[in-house]
Structures are given as structure tokens and as C-alpha cells.
Copies of this chain bind each other. A is one copy, B any other.
């Protein structure tokens, strides 16, 4: 036992065959309790909310600016030192995570895009299994894409301005039906966006390494383009959705040239990472109207600096990296963790899923 502040006390102390799970980012008490119940004494769940930032909203995984006091930090490091399993990547730790937490064999993250953090923590070449939140965020992110796309397509900005002026003026909007959506990154999130786009009657294209018609059908897409065919795809896109992982290959993937290749007035939605997109080039394209509207859930620097011109542009929607967050998120992640824990306890390490390819970064 680690003192009075420890929230979950294992009923029996037992030998080292009982792996220790350290809860390393904020998690609701009832969900910690669900993990404890599922473990049925076969794992020791260590939860110390007092050593973690307070959640600012449901499913917050921690304010990165929060810092522990020196005495908290000592207790925190002791907890990591014993841990075999981590619920989430610990915030603010230096490069050598395995020096701090030498026993760790499995980390369940609460994000999908953890490649760069895993590399920074020095885990890329380790034996540590990293299972991610990949797929968990697909539905809320897809819903955000259509919230943003319909907001613009159905002319809500003008409708709201008329409403403020008590002005009833009939108008004609366009439709999603028949329009073309281009997706960069047809992973689990991109495919969920594609599925709903097709329900709206859109034509959906994407780029992929393997890009034959059979693969397109497998992914539920109307057509796949090779990565070198990006400009051809962009030229016909009414809407470009960036849903690619953050890797060296995708950094600065969309710059001035790609934006100029787009169909004039196209909508751009970035639910990937700020690094995928050249923000200055986007600002210029939004000013000229080459990009008609941009919805950005991510920014080059987060929080988006208060003096960024993007804040005041009438054809921009800024979302504070919250599009993936939903009140159902931690419950779904805990279900996934519990299923993975069963595999772990049974020694079926290959079955832990979905596993990060730590070298590729996604």
C-alpha cells in the first residue's frame, strides 16, 4: 500500500505474478472500479488522482501545462517504477521512459496519433507493446466533419447573421449529394467519414499506397489514387478531408501547390495534425477564395496563437482539438483495455489490439 491517498486498495497482496497497472492519466472513478472488477484480483490497479491533473471536461486526458510538486513527483515516479502496465502515456516525462518505468511491457494510450510521442519517449525500438485508441475517435471525428461541412454547405453562417438581424430572406443552398469528397488518409477515421459521405450521396475518393479498384471496394470508396496522383484527385474535390497520421511522410503534405490544385472554392477539413498542412499557405488560399472554407480541429501550434489571422476569418471554423472527444470515449477505451488485459494475463500478447507499429508511427 502506498498510503491513505491510494484510491483502489488491492484486497490481497500477492507475488510479482500479479502485474501492476498504473493509471497515468485522469480516469473517472467508476471506470477505474470497472477495471478493478474485471481484473478480479489478477492485477493490481494503482490509481492516484491526486498525482494527476484534474480533468477540465469529460474525457479530458490531462492539461499538458499542469505540473506536480516535488513531493508529488517523487510519489509519481515510485508508482511508475513498479508498473508493468500503463493506462496512457505519462505526460511530461523525459526521453528515457524505460529508465523511469523499467518493468513496463504494455501501454494502452487514450489517443490514436501517438507515434511521435512514443518515439520521443524512446520506445520506438523497445519491446513495449503500445495499444492505441485507434477507431475510438472515428465516430465523433466523422460527426465533426459533417457538422462543419453542412454548416458551410447549408449556409448556416448567413442564416445565423440573418437571424441576428430578424431578417427572413429566402435563399438557395447547395447539396452534398453528387459532390466529391477527397480523403487523405483512409484509415479507420477516414473510412468512417467515407461511409457517412456515401450515405449522403457523395462520391468519395482517397489516396493510398495500394490503389486498385478491388482495394477501393474493400475500403468502401468510389476510387483510389496513388500518392503521386494527389493533384489529379484534388482538382475534382469539392471537399478535402485530412485524416492522415502524423509521420515524416505526411509533414507538410498539403502546401501552396496542393491548395492551388484544389477545385476553386473547395472546403478543407483538417482532423489529422497541424503539421500536415502549411498554415500560411492555407491563410492565403482562404483570403483569395481558392479555399472556400476551412474547418480546423488542429493547428500548427496548439493552442492556436491568439494573434493568428485564422481566428477572425469568416470562412474558418476553429475547433480546439476537441472533435475527437466524446462523452462516451473513456467507457469505450476501458472496454478495450479490459479485453486487452485478458489477453495480457493469458500471455496472448499478439492479440492485444490495436497495436501501434512503433517504427512506422501509426
Contact = CB atoms under 8 A, between A and B. Distances in A.
Interface string A180-191: 000000000000
A326 B174 contact: yes
A316 to B, nearest CB: 8
A16 B195 CA distance: 54
Given A175-B328, A322-B173, A302 B168 contact: yes
A321 B169 CA distance: 9
A152 B144 CA distance: 11
A304 interface: yes
Chain A binding surface SS class:
loop
B163 A318 contact: yes
Nearest to A168: B303
How many chain copies? Answer: 2
A306 B162 CA distance: 11
Interface in A123-143: 139-140, 143
A66 interface: no
A139 B174 CA distance: 11
15 contacts: A60-B172, A144-B154, A147-B151, A156-B317, A159-B319, A159-B320, A166-B306, A168-B304, A170-B321, A170-B322, A170-B325, A171-B320, A172-B326, A173-B326, A177-B328
Interface of A: 56-60, 139-140, 143-144, 146-147, 150-151, 153-154, 156, 159-160, 162-163, 166, 168-178, 195-196, 199-201, 302-304, 306, 311, 316-323, 325-329
